[in-house]
Structure 1
């Protein structure tokens, strides 16, 4: 379940309180008071077997006695009684319940978990949704519902707050009340037995009374649902999250460097970023961020200009910017020349722009106008320090007047002080100009805007085309299958490199030797300096046991090193089974950087990909970035840019830049590998050498386990479904290839629409379409394979000549379809073939119904629909449309 019946939480016709009480101070009494005093305009019914009335309202002894159906129930009875209560409520037609009571498995108590399951089993036949148990409750200001034991009712606002912690909810309520901050809804999720973050993100994304969503997260229960819902919500409104438990230990039992480096918090960070959310780290920062993002300001980049009447304040702001993703804007010569005409000769002539302590309002206005016109500036922070020779309120009015002619201009303000600047802050707030008390708060707000812009851009930016061929999946799968069938979790280095080679990741040629003498013979055949490594299924890190020798130049040296290695390894790992050696040519690339690329499994989000600086000290350096698969080149590039080593890869002094396209491609190939062979649980390429000539993997390690049958279901984001690729035979005998759409297909999709007759475009989009803007094309090509599927047909020139898609509802009950065939390809059965494939996919997903709206004049589409078994009936109120339905 996801959004089904959640409307009963926020818009019930009637509410029942089961466990109401008149006993002062009891939970049942506090909830009764809150419900009756909040102002809800529907019936509120109470249930208590021992009371005649609750707060002067007629009470009922049992749920069965309730005279009318209720949509929402608040339950505050002892835990043992709750499964029965839920069953009775469901039988009465109740659609949602908020279970306040604790005692359902907190602390892993078996009896509580059993009770929790009984509660869920009681709700399931009635599709009754449960918030909690062990929660504070639900508050909704629009319908005036306070179904909680909170100490106050929030002011009405347009921000929703969803939290796992009831204590955090009350703290936030108190903080917000003192500042006049309002909410649309506050939901305490408690133990999330049923309703979780994903459910509420889906609901709140479509809630017109909510303009921004705040989350307080301790853990995620269903990562894929969270990511799908989060990405949808974040595309429509700001989603800001604070995550508790940042210091949680990482993967303790990891066999790879990647597992040790990819701790849980960095993975949460990657997940929030990938979903387009903004993560903050302090409660105060949470509200700063929502205030800033709700202001409507949007940035184009991360370059900040600072305008101040005090040099010290400008320095503080500059210091706060240091070490953040933001940077000081470099003012253009034309901007400096313009400022020269309006500022005293003693102004700073640089950024920060110090306009001197006696600056009147006009000087602020003239300077701000100049900075807003600077092409190298993305936002302006205006600072003011109160002085005896200038009026801070006048300066504020000058800023406000300047912004009247530039609505939406990216301007943040910070008037330092308290009494002297109170009126200025009030005026800023009244006109929704973001204002902050200190320079560091203001700079942090700018960073929030910049980070949010970057995360949103990643959701919609078109990645570069894939510049490499499809991998040899069969070869790679067979290598992994043989190792797993032999009962080995860890592949040998030789096998691991074979898997990488199948995905066209360059590897150093590696040969096997069983004895020191055979290793010497192999080295002589290579004829160049070699690296010698121990070969053992039991040894993970070969250097730790003396299992690596480098730059051996003769066969004699190799043989001697091999014998010494056997002795050393036997001393340090007497339990290890030794299978021989690997011999490989030494790679001399003196300007190459040592990188690490890896795969690990996170307990919550499943497989993750890691990139960073490699080498033997990789855990000590700990320069890494983590991302959730699947990756494209754009996501790979952003991942690389989050590491310190990326600055070295860009080149410096006389050292040429590394081949960034080759590094990006390696990350994308590893992502593809992970989706194609889910048996792989850990992987290290360390080091991956990278320089201007490309990349090459010197060492590799892969850990694999038998397939569980779940395939890629444990991925937080469903990977690219390559298994859905196939061919279509058209009526003229031509064979076309089809496959799921990729984000990189946007240009080809645009080209298909551009080359189609305007009438056909109108049929597809149910209206005239003068152009095909990037945002629309990105939404059609960058899809969530968990809830959507789009198949594209390609000709021999790799042009898209047809596309079909379905979009399922959050409950995976029904899906809407849409299809388009390029005008010059019509009449050959392509549309029918694509529809057949997408309907087969829909059946495989368990969908119950597929429907579509078709223009009444689109007779070819209606004939195809009828041939496929669709029922044609009247559609919406629009007489030009008909609805076609297929019961699956």
Structure 2
């Protein structure tokens, strides 16, 4: 349901507490105390059947007695009473509830699950939103709301914290209170029966008081909604997440390597990375990230300058920076000269800038001023260790005075316990990030740098995909049809290779035979040496069962190897059905790397793709990365670079670099394969040989299913190729119409540049003269789940002459549209045809209303909208814009 009625959670006019109590120490009493003491300016109504007053406020015995309809209800009553209370509150007009009570199916207890469904059923007719059950509650300090049983009311701030764990929420509140960190919202989601992480990200992405978002995640529900919301939020503000349960114990048993190796945590990691979120590993890191983000500083790179009064702590910081793969800034000659002029002759003359243990505040000021002007430094870490000959507080005050009201990317680290305590309080009061150890400070810098890098990746424009052949989807489906007709779900190696070939992935030619004699003849036909493999629908990994023999150099050797295989398999796998042998030429590519590529399904995030170092020891090596399809060249390259073997693939010593473009293209083809062939469950290519000449798949395994509906959906909706079409305008002109792609950025900018400044102003409500990458990326890198943009191109040309765009709200009920036709194409009827396309698409996707803000002077747009049945909503006469609305 997403953000509908979430305003009632955080901006209610009236709050009701059901289950309020005067009994000391009870949850009802703590909730009442927190609500009344938080500073909420509206009415707080309490309900308890046995009390006359709660905290000196008149109490009501039932919901029906309440004199006002509450926007928000807090419920802390026995679980069997909750469904009825929800229904009664909904009838009164209540729009949101926080259910503190536990007992709704935690641990999959059947009775609780029935109660939870009854609660949701009671809320549904009234579109009532529910946080919980089994949660700590919600806090909105800017509105004076503490609807929780937390022990602390946080300060007002700009950090939002959303967690599934109430214990983690109270821990971070305690940590923040000691450090002066404030929050815009703190939300304990509990069992997430209704409101989940996706809903909160959608809401907080648009909240002006929230500048950064922290998440404590145990599990994600509705992956597509979560990723859509996370990508949207991450483009606007930092989103930091810590995920509980990092071990591979959750990996499912699977027939393929990919299914077995792609543990749950690796998939979550891929999802967080794809959404542009910053993942940290521990609560300590999350707390540190909270403090860093609360200061509001940003960095634009990974180059760090270090200013210190101790050489040893400077070295520790450099070591940690190297461990994090960050870089020391190279100080310019101008900066070195300025430092020389203000520092003692014995300073370090390099980065780290060691200004010596006797450095007073004035020396910190002089050095920091020089470094602030250094363009080669993306951030500055200022450190201090206590000495008997200098005052740590004096040094801290010098840093504060030097920065003044500015907030450049400066972090501080004052080491020790007693001596630097006042300095840290001074930094905290000025919202200058401060840390107790060099390791903490470097990690904080890396968080900021990683967030910047994530934003760059999120907005990067991929190059066009170059394929080296056409995809034969029909042939691949025909193979799967035959396999399922044979009542099998595992393809033989020849069948799997044929499907790879249908998608342009190079494979080894092979001949399938039934007997050792036929294997010998096939080997002679192919030429020696050859590889012999067993064919069996019951053996997943042939080499583990003695089912692979390499480098056979004669007919006799092939026949003998086949006989030996049969004998071995009768011992190790007596129940396995033997279908024969597969004979292939022995591929000799000295120096080639063995890789593994695969596809599997995750129960939460749907189809996933794995890449890493392959071979028979793939499980032991453990060098792999998981990505979410669909892939483009940039995402494929990012997957490759995330592995250790990528360093070898780039070449070393006398070994040339492998064809990285061919590896990347193979990953993209796998992404297309899994998008096209919805009956493929698992797929392995192991090994894929890669060297300077290209790639070739030596072995492949594919598992399929008969039920097309059994596959979980893609977490990120693939490019909707089925929407590509040819359209005709009213005057008979034909155009190619398709959804926009990220690589259309250049063509879109070209269209805007070839339009008049007046037409651009009418479209964007501003006189835009510079169409930079960030501007264009937001128009071309869209979420096909909530957004759609169709581009019109003259047939046979790669130029855009018209665009219509639709952006739905998270509830997918209403959508805002925008349309533009290149200036020289106006009056051809293209705008009318694009408008019709937009309306048809909106109807087909269940939208109830489309609307747009239009400049009052844009008479052509208003006239066209009128022809389609749009009406103008009432607006102020002096307003520059009007809203046009079409109910579908």
Q: How far apart in 1 are the matches of 2:649 and 2:851?
A: 51
- How far apart are the structure 2 equivalents of 1:306 and 1:174? 31
Greater Cα offset, 471-480 or 335-344: 335-344
Equivalence map 1:713-792=2 (5 Å): 714-731=713-730, 733-792=732-791
Which residue of the partner structure matches residue 178 of structure 2? 178
- Using the alignment, how far apart are the partners of 2:877 and 2:429 within structure 1? 42
User: After TM superposition, which residue ranges in structure 1, 4 or more long, deviate above 6 angstroms?
Assistant: none
Equivalents in 1 of 2:852, 2:710: separation in Å?
A: 31
Tell me the residue number matched to 2:84. 84
Cα 1:745/1:707, change in 2 over 3 Å: farther
The 5 A counterparts of 1:302-317 are 302-317=302-317
Does the Cα contact within 8 Å between 1:75 and 1:97 map onto a contact in 2? yes
Indicate conservation of the 8 Å contact 2:181/2:294, yes or no: no
1:64-123 CA deviation, whole Å, 9 max, x = no partner? 121221111111111111111111111111111111111111111111101111111111
Could you tell me how far apart the structure 2 residues matched to 1:659 and 1:361 are? 55
Q: Is the 8 A contact 2:162 2:214 kept in 1?
A: yes
Rounded Cα–Cα distance in structure 1 between residues aligned with 2:579 and 2:339: 74
Could you tell me which residue of structure 2 aligns to residue 109 of structure 1?
Answer: 109
Q: Following the alignment from structure 2 to structure 1, what is the Cα–Cα distance between the partners of residues 334 and 578? A: 71
More displaced 10-residue stretch of structure 1: 736-745 or 539-548 = 736-745
| More displaced stretch, 256-265 vs 145-154 | 145-154
Partner of 1:588: 588
Task: Tell me: CA distance 1:715–1:797, structure 2 relative to 1, closer, same or farther (3 Å).
Answer: same
Superposed displacement of residue 219, structure 1: 1.1
CA contact (8 A) 1:804 1:838 kept: yes
Distance 1:880 1:209 in 2: 28
After TM superposition, list the pairs within 5 Å mapping 1:498-517 onto structure 2: 498-517=498-517
Query: Could you report, residue by residue, the CA deviation over 1:849-871 in whole angstroms, capped at 9, with x for unpaired residues?
Result: 11122334444434443443433
Would you say 1:190 and 2:190 are equivalent positions? yes
CA distance in 1, matches of 2:566, 2:829: 67
RMSD: 2.4
The answer (yes or no) to whether the contact 1:531–1:549 under 8 Å persists in 2 is: yes
1:486 aligns with 2:486: yes
Q: 1:308 Cα shift?
A: 2.2
Q: Determine if the alignment matches structure 1 residue 431 to structure 2 residue 435.
A: no
Q: How far apart in 2 are the matches of 1:831 and 1:485? A: 49
Distance apart, 1:297 and its partner CA: 2.8
C-alpha distance 351-566 of structure 1, shift in aligned 2 (>3 A): farther
2-side partners of 1:381 and 1:470: how far apart?
A: 54
Q: Which residue of 2 aligns with 1:521?
A: 521
Matched residue, 1:127: 127
Are the equivalent residues in 2 in contact too, given 1:393–1:421 (CA < 8 A)?
A: yes
Tell me: CA distance 1:371–1:50, structure 2 relative to 1, closer, same or farther (3 Å): closer
What CA deviation, in whole Å up to 9, does each residue of 1:678-715 have, x standing for no partner?
3222221111122222222222222222344376x622
Alpha-carbon offset, residue 176 of structure 1: 2.3
* 1:536 matches 2:536: yes
Q: Does 2:155 correspond to 1:145?
A: no
What are structure 2's unaligned runs of at least 5 residues?
none
> Which segment is superposed worse, 818-827 or 337-346?
337-346
> Which deviates more, 224-233 or 468-477?
468-477
The answer to whether structure 1 residue 450 and structure 2 residue 449 are counterparts is: yes
Secondary structure of 1:260's aligned partner: helix
Shift of the 344–519 alpha-carbon distance from structure 1 to 2, 3 Å rule, reads: farther
Aligned residue in 1 for 2:163: 163
Task: Note the C-alpha offset of 1:177.
Answer: 2.4
Pairing 1:332-351 to 2, within 5 Å after superposition: 339=339, 342-351=342-351
CA distance in structure 1 between the aligned counterparts of 2:46 and 2:489, rounded to whole angstroms: 59
CA contact (8 A) 1:250 1:260 kept: no
In 2, Cα distance between the equivalents of 1:394 and 1:171? Answer: 33
With over 3 angstroms needed to count, the CA separation of the structure-2 counterparts of 1:25 and 1:388, relative to structure 1, is closer
Query: Offset at 1:396?
Result: 3.4
Q: Which deviates more from structure 2 when the two are superposed, residues 104-113 or residues 853-862? A: 853-862
Aligned partners of 1:60 and 1:66 also within 8 Å: yes
Shift of 1:339: 4.8
Contact 2:512 2:583 in 1 (8 A): yes
Paired residues for 1:19-34 under 5 Å:
19-34=19-34
Paired residues for 1:180-219 under 5 Å: 180-219=180-219
Deviation at 1:807, TM superposition (A): 0.5
Q: How many residues align?
A: 886
Rounded Cα–Cα distance in structure 1 between residues aligned with 2:369 and 2:578: 73
- 1:651 alignment counterpart: 651
User: What are the Cα deviations for residues 569-592 of structure 1, in whole angstroms up to 9, with x where unaligned?
Assistant: 232222222222222222222122
Distance in 1 (CA, whole Å) between partners of 2:710 and 2:817 is: 27
Give the Cα–Cα distance (whole angstroms) in 2 for the partners of residues 730 and 515 of structure 1.
Answer: 64
Q: Distance in 2 between matches of 1:116 and 1:683?
A: 38
Between the aligned partners of 2:185 and 2:162, the Cα distance in structure 1 is: 8
Larger deviation, residues 337-346 vs 216-225: 337-346
- The 5-angstrom pairing of residues 29-108 of structure 1 reads 29-108=29-108
Counterparts of 2:832 and 2:558, CA distance in 1: 65
Identify the residue that residue 247 of structure 2 maps to in structure 1. 247
- Kindly tell me: are residues 731 and 39 of structure 1, through their superposed partners in 2, closer, same or farther at Cα, counting changes over 3 Å? closer
Alignment match, 1:136: 136
Q: CA offsets per residue over residues 196-253 of structure 1, 9 Å max, x none?
A: 1111111111222222222111111221111111111222222222221222513231
Secondary structure, aligned partner of 1:670: helix
* Alignment match, 2:702: 702
User: In the alignment, does 2:471 pair up with 1:462?
Assistant: no
TM-score (norm 1): 0.95
Q: 1:521 to 1:371 in 2, by over 3 A?
A: farther
Q: CA shift at 1:617, angstroms?
A: 0.7
CA distance in 1, matches of 2:876, 2:324: 51
CA distance in 1, matches of 2:375, 2:531: 54
**Corresponding residue of 1:664:** 664
**Aligned partners of 2:157 and 2:294 also within 8 Å:** no
> What's the secondary structure of 1:231's corresponding residue?
helix
Residues in 1 aligned to 2:855 and 2:262: alpha-carbon distance in whole angstroms: 51
Pair 1:676 & 2:676 matched: yes
**1:809 Cα deviation from its structure 2 partner:** 0.5
**1:260–1:619: 8 Å Cα contact kept in structure 2?**
no
- State the shift of 1:19 in Å: 1.8
* Preserved contact between residue 271 and residue 627 of structure 1 (Cα < 8 Å): yes
- 1:336 & 1:479 partners in 2: Cα distance? 69
On the 8 A contact 1:688/1:696 being kept in 2, the answer is yes
Aligned to 2:495: 495
| Secondary structure in 2 matching 1:381 | strand
Distance of aligned partners of 1:486 and 1:833 in 2 relative to their CA distance in 1, 3 Å threshold: farther
- The CA distance in 2 between the partners of 1:322 and 1:617, in whole Å, is 30
Residue 408 of structure 2 corresponds to 409
Deviation at 1:830, TM superposition (A): 2.9
Q: CA deviation at 1:499?
A: 2.2
Shift of 1:450: 1.6
Q: 1:8 matched to which residue of 2? A: 8
2:597 counterpart of 1:597? yes
Could you tell me how far apart the structure 2 residues matched to 1:375 and 1:181 are?
A: 30
CA gap 1:553/1:331 in 2 versus in 1, 3 angstroms: farther
Contact in 2 for aligned 1:675/1:720 (Cα 8 Å) = no
SS in 1 for 2:451: helix
Post-superposition Cα deviations, 1:509-553, rounded to whole Å, max 9, x if no partner, equal 333223333333332232242222222222111111111122223
Note the 1:375-414 alignment, pairs <5 A: 376-404=376-404, 407-414=406-413
**Structure 1 Cα separation of the partners of residues 877 and 664 of structure 2:** 50
Deviation for aligned residue 1:878: 6.2
Shift of 1:352: 3.0
Q: How has the CA–CA distance of structure 1 residues 364 and 53 changed in structure 2, closer, same or farther, with 3 Å as cutoff?
A: closer
Q: How does 1:818-833 map to 2 (within 5 A)?
A: 818-833=818-833
Note closer, same or farther for the CA distance 1:476–1:353 as it changes in structure 2 (3 Å cut). Answer: farther
- Matched residue SS, 1:682: strand
Q: TM-score, normalised by structure 2?
A: 0.95
Does the Cα contact within 8 Å between 2:678 and 2:708 map onto a contact in 1?
A: no
1:440 is matched with which residue? Answer: 439
Structure 2 CA distance for partners of 1:822 and 1:378, relative to 1, 3 Å: same
Question: Aligned residue for 1:549?
Answer: 549
Aligned to 1:229: 229
How far did 1:409 drift?
3.3
Q: Which moved more, 1:344-353 or 1:314-323?
A: 344-353
Moved more, 859-868 or 306-315: 859-868
